[in-house]
């Protein structure tokens, strides 16, 4: 506790009275060791792509996504105008994160971050920093630290922002004077802003695709980089590596090689710049692939319904 209090006082200028409030909240915090296990055994780490995708890139979620796009079209179009991120990609993120706000988490954020910030075997430094940010967030947003609920990792709202990102990147997109990620409008605008402003090197590029299929021509050498968090190759070098793009790409196009483990065999894709923008939201290849495929299918269904006059 002393390190936390000292950091809040030094970096966030907490007053003595505010620090007493932090102490009171921490006395109510529950240690939940199962949250550490949940983080370490997340589906992105343990499932094949076949199993993972079947649960998430499914007809009900795609249909709900098309409905979401239709319901919030004006807000989504404004987000695209301001940030360049298409409605289908925003819907893909919100659909995967919380099934469009239907499940934003039932764990107290205080408990999640206090547990993982103190007891996580490999990521305690990260979660401790988020615990600091959480108390600052609660002060700045006028919230009781014992009240907000979120994921096992401490992510909040429809968009599942960690406290530091909530403070830095959330936007008041409906103009009500509050940045409330439990409301769809602010979640829409905040997802778009995140993909643009979180990491300047992976800033969303307006009008560009996310990924294209690839065909394996020969086994990749052991030292060929795959499933990285940033592009590592040029399109012109793929043939020499043993890969062929399904789409003609300019030779200088930067790409990353995505290898997906299936129940039987493997599948290859090429991640383009915007694929890695999505990976800045969650650094798992399965995550970015799911958002990309959901976006494609949601946009397709939305277009079909529009053409049919629905």
The active-site residue, picked from 18, 39, 80, 97, is: 97
Closest CA to 98 of 148, 150, 31: 150
Answer yes or no: 97 catalytic.
yes
Query: Which residues are catalytically annotated?
Result: 97
């Amino acid at each position: 506790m002393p390190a936390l209090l000292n950091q809040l006082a030094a970096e966030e200028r907490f007053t003595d009275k505010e620090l007493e409030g932090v102490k009171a909240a921490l006395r109510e915090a529950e240690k939940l060791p199962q949250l550490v296990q949940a983080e370490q055994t997340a589906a992105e780490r343990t499932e094949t792509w076949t199993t993972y995708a079947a649960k998430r890139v499914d007809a009900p979620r795609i249909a709900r996504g098309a409905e979401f796009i239709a319901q919030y079209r004006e807000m989504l179009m404004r987000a695209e105008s301001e940030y360049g991120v298409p409605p289908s990609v925003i819907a893909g993120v919100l659909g995967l994160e919380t099934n469009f706000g239907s499940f934003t988490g039932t764990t107290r954020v205080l408990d999640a971050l206090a547990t993982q910030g103190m007891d996580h075997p490999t990521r305690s430094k990260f979660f401790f920093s988020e615990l600091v940010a959480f108390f600052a967030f609660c002060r700045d947003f006028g919230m009781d630290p014992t009240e907000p609920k979120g994921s096992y990792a401490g992510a909040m709202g429809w968009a599942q922002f960690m406290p530091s990102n909530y403070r830095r990147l959330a936007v008041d997109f409906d103009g009500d004077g509050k940045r409330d990620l439990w409301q769809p409008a602010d979640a829409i605008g905040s997802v778009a802003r995140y993909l643009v402003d979180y990491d300047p090197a992976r800033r969303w590029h307006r009008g560009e695709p996310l990924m294209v299929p690839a065909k394996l021509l020969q086994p990749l050498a052991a030292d060929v980089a795959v499933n990285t968090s940033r592009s590592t190759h040029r399109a012109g070098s793929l043939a020499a590596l043993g890969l062929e793009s399904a789409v003609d790409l300019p030779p200088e196009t930067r790409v990353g090689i995505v290898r997906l483990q299936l129940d039987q065999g493997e599948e290859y894709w090429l991640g383009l710049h915007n694929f890695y923008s999505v990976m800045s939201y969650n650094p798992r290849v399965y995550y970015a692939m799911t958002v990309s495929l959901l976006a494609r299918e949601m946009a397709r269904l939305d277009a079909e319904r529009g053409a049919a006059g629905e």
